[in-house]
Structure 1
Amino acid sequence: MTGDLDKYALLTGLFGGLALFLFGMDLLTNGLKRAAGDRLKDLLGKVTNNRFLGAGMGAVVTGLVNSSSVTTVILVGFISAGLMSMSQSVSVIMGANIGSTMTAQILAFNVTRFALPMVALGFLISFLPGSRNRQDYGRMLLGIGLVFYGMGLMSEAMVPLRSEPTFINFIATLGNPVLAVLTGMAFTAIIQSSAATTGIVIVLAGQGIMTLESAIAVAMGANIGTCATAGLAVIGKPREAVRAAVVHVLFNVSGVLVWILFIDQMAALARGISPEGDVPRQVANAHTIFNVANTFLFIGFTTQIARFVEWLVPDRPLATEAVLTPKYLDATLISTPTFALENTRREIGRLGAHVTDMLNKSLHVSLSGSEAELEALSAMDKPVDDLHRAILAYLGEVSRSRLSDEQSRDLMQLVTVSNDLEHIADVVTEDIVTSTRKRMQEHAGISPYTAKRIADYHAQIVRALDGAVRSVTTEDMELAQTVRDMKQEVVEMSRYISRTRFDRLKSADGAINRYVREVELVELLDGIFKTARRIARSQLERAEVEPAEEEPAEVEPAA
């Protein structure tokens, strides 16, 4: 290699270090998601109408997992399930930006010498036999060791750049804050990691190659660049996910536009609160100051931001044939079972709502419907079959991940509930439709008195099914118990209908045929009620079953 600058050493050190950095971040984030996914979900579930508490929770969760995208995934789930408003989620997204600065604070420590011991210890813990949680913690330690080691490699590789005229001239152009912001934005969009951009900036500033002011501007640009990752992630996703990404973009872009005029003041403040001469710490502190100040500037407008985003990204009505197209079965979440199972619950909620609607419509059709209405009711079964197969295929993929005992039980519960809902749909579109056709062929009309009794009974069955589905999708034990406790009332209604109809057998011609069809309908509804109670029981049993010892069985994808 000729010349003063060893380009091979520079490129391999820089890009090899960057690769190790990004791989380490991926290991760290995935380990944290697996080990603490449920606890993180519970943390965000405590968000109330207090926007400052929401921002605090967003900062804590994002700081723990080093990934604002994980926080966004949880938020989308809460919004979809009706557990959180769009307005509440805005403050959490703002807090997530503060949490993302935790990485820069850690990177500012000179811990390179501890990197390889962390890698060795993390590797040992993750590959030795033991509990899955311990192995996840080992991968987290291995990941953070690789992050620090990658930082060290990049730092060493960049030393010769101090005297490289071309590079020095380029860095000099970053004295223009607009160009510095655009550079940080473009680089982050390419490598899809604002943490890596911030890490490189810390290295350059620490070696005196880049000024603190330029480093702040590039880090601000990284805040916008990371929105590219969020934008790509929500392509084809539900409207809630798109809105969350739009909030992220608006917040970051607006913040940069406001604070780009005050970079010198932020630099002065960072120098004032940081150890003298510790430039990496000054960069990290300036990054945190920017995000905290940005949050406090906009947090008073969360309601207005939410309304604007809902206007900007309105609900999109689905075509009739696409009503049950999978909406939450996100393939990117399969490697994170906590969130994959959570999204499957929401998908099952959609399946259950459609089946409940079928059951609701079956009353009119079975009592006085036409042949055309019977055909329309039968046609509602195909979307159920398609979504049921998609859910089973998705859960089959999830089952191949490393699942805890609790996740294994949850997965099998969701498989069972999905099968039960598909069975109810078959009862409605096949058994009830067939029974109704026979009644129509026999000209056995149902009397107004009996129709009223069956309608009351049918309403109870619909209420039970709706409650059972919602108990599973919202993990509501009280609602599940309410469905279980409906047994006595429903049984008494069924017996009353059967008894009074038998007493009226001799009242008119065709009474036998009417009696048979009416009792047949009641028995079919009774079967649906039993299935609804079984769904509710599966939710109650989640809190009762002790952790299983055996490995979870794999679910075969549906054909």
Structure 2
Amino acid sequence: MRDIFANFELWTGLLGGLALFLFGMDLLTRALKRVTGDRMRALLARLTENRLKGVLLGAGVTAVVQSSSVTTVLLVGFISAGVMTMAQSVAVIMGANIGTTVTAQILAFKITTLALPMVTLGVAAMLIAKDRVWQEYGQAVIGLGLVFYGMAVMSDAMSPLAQYPGFLSAMASLDAPVLALLVGAGFTALVQSSSATTGILIVLAGQGLLSLEAAIGAALGANIGTCITALLAATGKPREAVRAALVHTLFNVAGVLAWVWFIPQLALVASAIAPAGDSARGLAWAHTIFNVVNMLVLIGFTAPFARLVEWLVPDRPDVVDAEGSPKFLDRALLDTPAIALDAAAREIARLGYRVAGMVESVLPVAIEGPRVKLDALAATDKPVDRLHAAIVDYLGAVSLRRLSPEQSSRLVRLISVANDIEQIADMVARDVVISSQKRLDDRVLVSTATRRVIARFHAEVAAALHGAIEAFETGDAERARQVRGMKGTMRAMGREIALHGIERLTAEAPRRVQTYTREVELVEILDDIFRLTRRIAREVAEAEGANGTLPASEPPPG
């Protein structure tokens, strides 16, 4: 065994091949995430009415993007937005496990001779193609070529190991199922790629260095190791992310514990399906059989799975909201711009509902509030400013990624809506406060009749703002057009208030001029808020749902 550790060429070949494999997988996954992100987002949002469709969709999406973690990221966003229930996501996660078997099936075919031609083709596409999408496809082909080339390098480096009795003895010890399982789990947790573990196992099995049963045991362990990676990635993330990672973990661990005692039988079945003597293909088929049978057995228990993880990871009070800290702006989403923009939209909607609450509660303070309440009103803008700054910073980070024209347009719309919402908050916390301080300085008392007139106008403005934010969150262009259609009503109410003010100007009451000035000032501020509200609604209406703010979802709570 000492000769093995001293063999420089063996280790550089093995580690270099593994590095090429992982780099290729990263290139492949990143390119496919960018080029298919919008379409996968739309499919996942719409095609999960039943468990079977969810499974098929999870398998298809994962097979395309070559990463179950990407599928999980999509699911977390949709659960947060209310587009998908936890029970629906369980079926998609089960399907994602099946999608990962496509990688093993591809690697099991001895097509490493295509590696360098694929790299050449991919580089040519990136250099020649003018269209960004074709450039991304070129990068994906380069990634796949590097995956195959890494496999070839590892295979060549490992071929001398057949001459080392010590190594063969170590590999023979993996016939103990528990030991093989632990080795597979540990290595996968170390390299953070179950595909890399599967690739190495296919190389070892294909060269006869590892028995099929031992390779299956290690592959089962890889299913647990990839869950460790997912759980670590979910640490500190929103509860939805933790629950999705936990579903993946429970599903995989339950399946491994059920199968670990039947590895010989699984090996027999896989060998019967694969070409005679082809252990690499046998391992790929065992991997597929394991995941498909697990899905068939557990597909009827998606609802109990969902209830279990919701019990294990209960909701907690939204303590960060009072601090103005972001809830959905996960930096891990930046590599998938379509989903990152969804996250920003959810955060903007959250900001919008907060500011809508400020507008709804502002009138009593504006008309009769003492200075202490005005100070409290002014302070409500600080969390809004912090959250707005976090949103703009996040969207700035998204803008540095390679975006499609549609994504770029959507990013501009999101920034515009966020800025309009923040400006409304400024009007409440700054303009209303300044006007009310003048009211107190002038010792102005607003009459009961005037309060009623202004209150009706304020109620319409508050309702319009809430409607605009709701339309933004749900991508409801028709709701947005209804808000914009309120312009005529608001103009009529404005004229009514103006006539009432002129009548009151001649009334026998002290400080009528100062009172009139403050009343007009408050109405003008409310009218400016409505103007910004219509601008928010216009952004939604013009998007027409095609490239809207969020996938269509259930109406939000009030």
Q: After TM superposition, is the score higher than 0.5?
A: yes
Aligned residue number for residue 521 of structure 1: 522
User: Any conservation in 1 of the 2:477–2:542 contact (CA below 8 Å)?
Assistant: no
Amino acid at match of 1:38: D
Stretches of structure 2 lacking an aligned partner (at least 5 in a row) = 548-558
Whether the aligned pair in 1 keeps the contact of 2:320 and 2:326 (CA below 8 Å) is: no
Contact kept in structure 1, 2:223 and 2:252, CA below 8 Å: yes
Q: Quote the offset at 1:6 in angstroms.
A: 7.2
Match of 2:552 in 1: none
Offset at residue 4 of structure 1 (A): 8.4
Which residue does 1:434 correspond to in 2? 434
| Deviates most, 536-545 or 383-392 | 536-545
* Aligned residues of 1:5 and 1:164 also touching (Cα < 8 A): no
Deviation at 1:485, TM superposition (A): 1.9
Contact 2:205/2:280, CA 8 A, preserved across alignment? yes
Does structure 2 retain, via aligned residues, the 8 Å contact 1:409–1:542? Answer: no
The aligned runs of 1:73-152 (5 Å cut-off) are 73-152=73-152
User: Any idea what SS the aligned residue of 1:463 has?
Assistant: helix
Q: CA deviation at 1:269?
A: 2.2
Whichever residue aligns with residue 529 of structure 2, its letter is I
- Separation in 1, partners of 2:282, 2:355: 58
Match of 1:552 in 2: none
Instruction: Output the TM-score relative to the length of structure 2.
Output: 0.93
Q: Which residue of 2 aligns with 1:278?
A: 278
Cα drift, residue 505 of structure 1: 3.7
Q: Displacement of 1:194 after TM fit?
A: 0.2
Count residues with an aligned counterpart: 545
| CA shift for structure 1 position 330 | 2.4
**Deviations for 1:232-258, whole angstroms, at most 9, x for unmatched residues?**
222222111111111111111121112
Amino acid across the alignment from 1:537: R
Once residues 247 and 241 of structure 1 are traced to their aligned partners in structure 2, the CA distance between those partners, rounded to angstroms, is 10
Supply the AA of the counterpart residue of 1:532.
Answer: T
3-state SS, counterpart of residue 402 of structure 2: coil
- Would the alpha carbon gap of residues 3 and 370 (structure 1) be closer, same or farther in structure 2, given more than 3 Å must change? closer
CA contact under 8 A between 1:5 and 1:160: conserved in structure 2?
no
Counterpart secondary structure, 2:361: helix
- 2:419 match: secondary structure: helix
Q: Give the deviation of 1:322 after TM superposition.
A: 4.8
Give the AA of the match of 1:540.
A
Confirm whether residue 223 of structure 1 aligns to residue 207 of structure 2: no
The alpha-carbon deviation at position 507 of structure 1 amounts to: 4.1
Tell me which amino acid in the other structure corresponds to 1:384: V
Q: Within 2, Cα distance between the matches of 1:45 and 1:360? A: 32
Please give the alpha-carbon distance, in whole angstroms, between the structure 2 residues aligned to 1:356 and 1:183. 55
Task: Report the CA distance between 1:129 and its aligned residue.
Answer: 4.9
What does residue range 86-485 of structure 1 map to in structure 2 within 5 Å?
A: 86-319=86-319, 322-485=322-485
Unmatched 5+ stretches in structure 1: 547-559
1:487 aligned residue: 487
Which residue of structure 1 aligns with residue 54 of structure 2?
54
Q: Does the CA-based 8 Å contact 2:25-2:147 persist in structure 1?
A: yes
> What RMSD in Å do the two structures reach over aligned CA positions?
2.2
User: What amino acid is aligned across from residue 458 of structure 2 in structure 1?
Assistant: H
- Residue deviations 1:66-109, cap 9 Å, x none? 11111111111111111111121111111111111111111111
- Per-residue CA deviation, residues 388-444 of structure 1 (Å, 9 max, x unaligned), is 222222222222222221121111112211111111110000111222222233343
Q: Is the 8 A contact 1:81 1:474 kept in 2?
A: no
Which residue number in structure 2 is paired with residue 557 of structure 1? none
Structure 1 residues 300, 363: closer, same or farther in 2, change over 3 A?
A: farther
Match of 1:556 in 2: none
Once residues 138 and 348 of structure 1 are traced to their aligned partners in structure 2, the CA distance between those partners, rounded to angstroms, is 35
Counterpart of 1:192, as a letter, is: Q
Distance 2:359 2:498 in 1: 21
Q: How does 1:20-59 map to 2 (within 5 A)?
A: 20-59=20-59
> Distance between the aligned counterparts of 2:3 and 2:119, measured in 1?
35
Q: Give, in angstroms, the shift of residue 195 of structure 1.
A: 0.3
Residues 174 and 180, structure 1, Cα contact 8 Å, conserved in 2: yes
Mapped partners of 1:339, 1:264: distance in 2: 43
Deviations 1:8-50 (A, max 9, x none): 1211111111000000000100110111110010110113341
Relative distance call for 1:450 and 1:94 in structure 2 (3 A) is farther
Amino acid at match of 2:63: G
Does the C-alpha gap of structure 1 residues 76 and 371 become closer, same or farther in structure 2, counting only changes over 3 Å?
A: same
Counterpart of 1:20, as a letter, is: L
Q: Residues 24, 53 of structure 1: CA spacing in aligned structure 2 closer, same or farther, 3 A cutoff?
A: same
Change (3 A) 1:448 1:298: farther
Q: Select between 412-421 and 450-459 the one with higher mean Cα deviation.
A: 450-459
CA distance in structure 2 between the aligned counterparts of 1:484 and 1:497, rounded to whole angstroms: 21
Q: 1:160 and 1:378, CA in 2 relative to 1: closer, same or farther beyond 3 A?
A: same
